[in-house]
Amino acid sequence: MPTVLFVCVENAARSLMAEALFNREAPAGWRAVSAGTRPAAAPNPRTAPMLRELGLRLPDHPPQELTEAVIASARIRVTMGCLDDASCPARLRSAPLRDWGLADPARLDEDGFRAVRDEIARRVSALRREIAGADPGTADPAGELGGR
């Protein structure tokens, strides 16, 4: 199954929200997963309430570590701003990807957290439309959809 990988540092807010938003209405045959370069012990306590405002739940997994296998299995890789973090693995930096460069909402007030969530929702929606419009038989959609 083609997979979109969302990556942030802790896998506690941005990437979890992106995963939940994408999977709510994933294009036929696609799914999203998320991981962190330095995963937190638990999701940010504000992430679940922010998703509930949109009628969504947190993904069923706790914050999880980004592994080589997860990177390799993803057809599209989206980072949330972790490329400038020392924990970002070289393999991820060299893979075809998109960097959305979003602020870490953990450092923001409620309105700031909500603004980041809403920007993620907008970008996820555009990504879903882009995938749905691509030819499903394309041999390398990561080259078309996942490029820098």
pLDDT digits (tens, 9 = 90+) for 54-93: 999 999 999 999 998 998 899 999 998 776 656 666 566 5
Average pLDDT, stretch 121-125? 98
Average pLDDT, stretch 123-135? 91
**pLDDT value for 89:** 60
What's this model's pTM, rounded to 2 decimal places?
0.87
CA–CA dist 42, 38 (Å, integer):
12
**pLDDT value for 134:** 76
| Dihedral sign (CA 128, 115, 102, 11) | negative
**pLDDT value for 139:** 36
Architecture of domain 3-139: 3-Layer(aba) Sandwich (3.40)
